[in-house]
Amino acid sequence: MKSGEFYTVTSLNRHIKEILDGEVSLRLVKLKGEVSNLKKYPSGHFYFTLKDENSVISAVMFYNDAIRIGFNMKDGDEVLAYGSVSVYPQRGSYQIYVSEIELFGQGALLVELEKLKQKLKAEGLFDENRKRPIAAYPESIGIISASGSAAIEDMIKNIHRRYPIARIYFFPSLVQGSAAPKDLLRAFELAKSYDLSTLIIGRGGGASEDLNAFNDEALVRALATSRAPIISAIGHEIDFTLVDYVADRRVSTPTGAAELATPDKREIYETLNENLERMSLALQNKVHTLKERLNLLAKRAFFIDPKSIYENKVRDVREYRVRLVNAMQNSYLIASHEVRSSKQRLEALSPFGVLKRGYSIMTDESGKVIDSVNKVETGQNVLTNVKDGIIMSRVTAKESKKNG
């Protein structure tokens, strides 16, 4: 610039704009930052700033570009913005003119997860009409969870406490990390080879980002083919995973899964007693009805033709009625005795009866009964079922009895 010449503010801003607009590297910039101070104007234009730990830059996105945003942009979103850098001459400030923007990191994962959820939902995998009831009295329960976790210990303990006659099959698997989806799928394919009444899949608590394994598309599609009803127990009250949606029932804790999968033995006893009472009442009502009918028949026989009925005939009718009443009472007593005997035999055969008589039942952690010293190893954890609970212990030594 020659001596004596000068810029006006407008001319300087325009000159700077020309320089920036002429810089090829600034015509298409890919910029990562966090959205802040977002303002959405009635015109449809978006004005905001993008920032990182040390700096901020102004940004604008005009209506024609803003209408193509595929998510609800808000303050705090980490994004990738595509656009050009230039100067707004009236203010003398440079800014990025954004033409496209997308979520970055966890936000992008959430967008993709929502798309997958809607896709599987449209295919009917989450429909309520495909949900199946959980078995009321399961013979066998499968559990997919992490080996040695608090979740698996909690489920096994509560299943044994509530319904110790159920067989438990444990299929250990990773439940978080990049390898977890394939490992969960492997464990499920193994579980499919067993005849299970119910299958529980889950884990304990943890951060939301640790749940990604339970959003795997291949895993969800596989679980939809399960022959056994599935209970998901991922361990979160608020965060739902795709496994939660495809499962037949969903609970938020491992304890809740054990309770949903089993009846309470106390409730079984109450049901048996109620059924016995109903059977006894039904027999009493039947006897009473037959007595009434017999009395009516006897009266009719007595009054058919008084002139033609001799005293011996009257006596025969009365004796017949007495014999029939006695026969019905004997039938009732025999039936009542058979019901009581059946109940006693059931209680004698029941594992609960064995426990009440002072015995105990020892199982390994998977629920298999230990009936020989050769089926347990030193250092192994074992569960001892007694009449009022479960004793968890570790084998420190073992000794075989000599024959004879």
| Residue 1, domain member (yes or no) | no
- Give pLDDT tens digits for 214-255: 999 999 999 999 999 999 998 666 668 899 999 999 998 899
Do 27 and 133 fall into the same domain?
no
| Residue 403, domain member (yes or no) | no
Looking at 248, 263, 278, which one is the last position of a domain? 263
Do 91 and 143 fall into the same domain?
no
Looking at 236, 263, 290, which one is the last position of a domain? 263
The number of domains in the chain is 4
Answer with the residue of higher pLDDT: 369 or 111.
Answer: 369
pLDDT reported for residue 202: 87
Do 64 and 92 fall into the same domain?
yes
Nearest to 102 by CA among 35, 4, 175, 148: 35
Residue 364: φ, ψ to 5°: -85, -175
| Residue 111, domain member (yes or no) | no
Per this entry, what is the length of the chain? Answer: 404
CATH of the domain at 43: 2.40.50.140
| Residue 115, domain member (yes or no) | no
pLDDT reported for residue 374: 84
- Give pLDDT tens digits for 80-91: 899 999 988 888
Do 130 and 248 fall into the same domain?
yes
| Residue 54, domain member (yes or no) | yes
| Residue 113, domain member (yes or no) | no
The residues near 13 (Cβ < 8 Å, ≥ 6 apart) are 87, 89, 90, 92
Count CB atoms within 10 A of the CB of residue 229. 19
Residue 60: φ, ψ to 5°: -140, 145
pLDDT reported for residue 284: 84
Do 134 and 238 fall into the same domain?
yes
Confidence grade of residue 95 (pLDDT, cut at 50, 70, 90)? very high
Do 330 and 230 fall into the same domain?
no
Q: Report the alpha-carbon distance of residue 62 to residue 83 in Å, rounded.
A: 11
Q: Report the alpha-carbon distance of residue 179 to residue 288 in Å, rounded.
A: 71
Do 233 and 244 fall into the same domain?
yes
* Residues 148-166, mean pLDDT to the nearest whole number: 91
Do 338 and 380 fall into the same domain?
no
Question: Would residue 7 be called left, alpha or beta, if left means φ above 0 and alpha means ψ between -120 and 50 degrees?
Answer: beta
Residue 404 has pLDDT above 50, yes or no: no
Domain limits for position 388: 356-394
Do 50 and 142 fall into the same domain?
no
Confidence grade of residue 313 (pLDDT, cut at 50, 70, 90)? low
Do 274 and 175 fall into the same domain?
no
| Residue 118, domain member (yes or no) | no
Do 140 and 253 fall into the same domain?
yes
Do 360 and 258 fall into the same domain?
no
| Residue 303, domain member (yes or no) | yes
CATH of the domain at 194: 3.40.50.2300
Residue 63 has pLDDT above 70, yes or no: yes
pLDDT reported for residue 24: 82
- Give pLDDT tens digits for 7-43: 788 888 888 888 888 888 888 888 988 889 999 999 9
Q: How many whole angstroms from its chain centre is CA 231?
A: 4
